Chains A and B, each alone.
Chain A
Amino acid sequence: MNGVFILGLAILIIGAVSVTFARPKTYLARLINLEIPGWGLLLIMLAYDEGLALLTFVAVTAIATFVIVRVMEWRDAA
């Protein structure tokens, strides 16, 4: 099968396992690990030639990361 698809699937599985069993059980380590399966999903979208979906997914991931960081700061301040 396509090499890009296999690579994306491997990175997606590695990232999902690392988010589920984050070693330092902090919100920060879990947020950084959440970036890994995003790039794996990007490679899978690339294997199916979905260009516009790829662009939208990257932009929405950046906005969602910003929102989660702000929520973590509010939780620390409270």
Chain B
Amino acid sequence: MAELIALYVLGAVAAFAVVRVIVERNTGRKLPYLNVMNFAIAGSLVLLLQHPLSLAAAAAYFVGSTLEANAIASTYAGVATR
């Protein structure tokens, strides 16, 4: 029951972050909320399925999504300062 409450909290955080990303107009201010959504999804991947390999899937998603957000931010900074 306790992990069900944690799953609902993570889902609410993910939905809130998605709404904030879509409503926001400035690209630089979208990226922190994209990170919030990525962390919430990576946390909920662990709680979805009772399996030992579930932790590896969550770790892989965490690494991949953080790399993606950092690549977007780096390229955006390089284009915007020019």
Determine whether A and B are in direct contact in the complex, meaning some CB atoms lie less than 8 angstroms apart. Answer: no
